[in-house]
Amino acid sequence: MSALSLVAAFLQAIRDALPGVQVFDGQVLPQPPQRYVVVYPDIGTREADTVEHQSTSTTFRWQTTCVAPDREMAAWLAETVQNALVDTRPEVDGWSTGLVEHTFSLPPARDETVLERPVVVAIDRYQLLADRLPQEQEGS
């Protein structure tokens, strides 16, 4: 199972929490809506801290950027995403997952790089420790 399945689980949890709000996977449309969330996932960092030096544990990290026309809406989006993710245990085939942790937050602030319209962004980072489950032997 790949990290893509875990990313799909993160995206789905956010989409379920924010019906009617577009959630993008790392790339935003050229003409984005007034409010949206962008998820920037990594592919995971493998750790080999077992006696056998097998890399069975992976730490996944991702950032969410909540974008809205004003501070109140950006804060609401960020809080809704936090409530949907923190302390949850995603169920994904091929993985045993820990609880999602919130590791970093920037309060809502005006993004001066967007010149077309006023935009406020709220940025949060999360992480999840997951272990790959052993694959069943063929013919077992």
- Alpha carbon of residue 127 to chain centroid: 8
Which tokens go with 25? Answer: 């996977």
Q: What is the pLDDT of residues 17-65, one digit of tens each?
A: 999 999 999 999 888 899 999 999 988 887 766 566 666 788 999 999 9
* pTM recorded for the entire structure: 0.85
**Could you give phi then psi for residue 3, rounded to 5 degrees?**
-65, -25
pLDDT in tens, 94-130: 889 999 999 999 999 998 876 678 899 999 999 999 9
Element housing 56 (H / E) = none
Token digits for 81? 């995403």
What confidence tier does 79 reach under pLDDT thresholds 50, 70, 90? very high
Domains and CATH numbers, the chain: 3-49+60-132 (3.30.2000.10)
Gap between the Cα atoms of 103 and 62, Å rounded: 10
